[in-house]
Amino acid sequence: MKIRLFGSCSGTEPVPGRHHTAFAVERRGGLYWFDAGESCAHTAHLSGADLLSIRHIVISHTHMDHIGGLAHLLWTMRKLDGHAHRLDGQTVFLHLPDLRAWDAVSSLLALTEGGFSCRFVIRPGLIGDGPLFEDNGLAVSALHTRHLPHAEGEPWRSFGFSIEADGKKIVYTGDTKGYEDYAPLLDGCDVLLHETGHHHPAEVAKRLIDEGRAPGLLAFLHHGRDILNHPDEQKALLAAIPDLSWRILNDGDVIEMGE
Ligand SMILES: [Zn+2]
């Protein structure tokens, strides 16, 4: 199992060398896709990822830095399958926190070449708290975050996730208000993918250590101004924290997690 990072940036204006958030977990010939920021299909395909092995696409919330590349990702899968004919009759599961996003994306796609008639089926579904899917021994669960406003009785519209397979556990914070959002997911966490668009990396690390919940690897993505403008300063702050395994992720990075 490995994590492949396609976009490491938060919702900034275009910056050199980084794109909005997207990554995939690659395991046993399947790709499990999380968030679809700008250009993710382009970046992933050119980095050698097999877009026709995508089984599930999970969108944490509908802000543009997480969903702006979704229509193009689906369009690219159809384009590649038009040559390869590998997805005949197969289902691609699309997990969304707001199905109005699918109405918009499917309407847009329907206006493209050939009305976007596909050999594969896209099945959208609404994300809620709890188990989201299990596929070939890989299990994903969702837990809402407080990133977006939430009214009593309304569905939550922003989520973090745990991803478990082969005795390993990845936690992705999504966009988060902080520790309390994702703490329930942290038991046995090997890799915590934590956003830095709304948080100072060293403060995140210190809180995790203070709580006794430091993961095997604290990997930062969805970068904001701290890391975009002052990367060396942020690395020095992290390096000064004892007994912390950390990494600041860049577009194209891969985290190997064994079998
Ligand atoms: Zn974001």
Buried b (16+ CB within 10 A) or exposed e, 10-33: bbeeeeeebbbbbbbbbbeebbbb
Return all residues near 112 (Cβ < 8 A) that are at least 6 apart.
Answer: 75
What distance in Å separates the CA atoms of residue 44 and residue 25, rounded to the nearest whole number?
Answer: 12
In the block, which residue shows the tokens 């989520």? 159
The CA 83 to ligand 1 mean position distance, Å, reads 34
The CA 37 to ligand 1 mean position distance, Å, reads 9
Triad 70, 75, 81: Cα angle to 5°: 130
The CA 30 to ligand 1 mean position distance, Å, reads 25
pLDDT by residue (tens digit) across 185-198? 999 999 999 999 99
What distance in Å separates the CA atoms of residue 222 and residue 5, rounded to the nearest whole number?
Answer: 11
Cα 58–chain centre separation: 7
Q: Which domains does the chain have, with CATH numbers?
A: 2-256 (3.60.15.10)
How large is the average pLDDT for residues 97-120?
97
Say if strands 121-126 and 130-135 run parallel, antiparallel, or are unpaired: unpaired
How large is the average pLDDT for residues 91-119?
97
The CA 176 to ligand 1 mean position distance, Å, reads 9
| Among 128, 30, 170, CA closest to 87 | 30
Cα 182–chain centre separation: 15
The CA 240 to ligand 1 mean position distance, Å, reads 27
The CA 35 to ligand 1 mean position distance, Å, reads 10
pLDDT by residue (tens digit) across 39-87? 999 999 999 999 999 999 999 999 999 999 999 999 999 999 999 999 9
What distance in Å separates the CA atoms of residue 124 and residue 74, rounded to the nearest whole number?
Answer: 12
The CA 239 to ligand 1 mean position distance, Å, reads 26
The CA 115 to ligand 1 mean position distance, Å, reads 31
The CA 223 to ligand 1 mean position distance, Å, reads 9
pLDDT by residue (tens digit) across 109-161? 999 999 999 999 999 999 999 999 999 999 999 999 999 989 888 999 999 99
Residue 180: predicted pLDDT: 97
Residue 258's pLDDT band (cuts 50, 70, 90): confident
Residue 91: pLDDT over 70: yes
Cα 37–chain centre separation: 9
Residue 25: predicted pLDDT: 98
What distance in Å separates the CA atoms of residue 40 and residue 177, rounded to the nearest whole number?
Answer: 25
Residue 46: predicted pLDDT: 96
- Mean pLDDT of all residues in the chain? 97
The CA 229 to ligand 1 mean position distance, Å, reads 17
Residue 200: pLDDT over 70: yes
The CA 88 to ligand 1 mean position distance, Å, reads 34
Residue 259: predicted pLDDT: 67
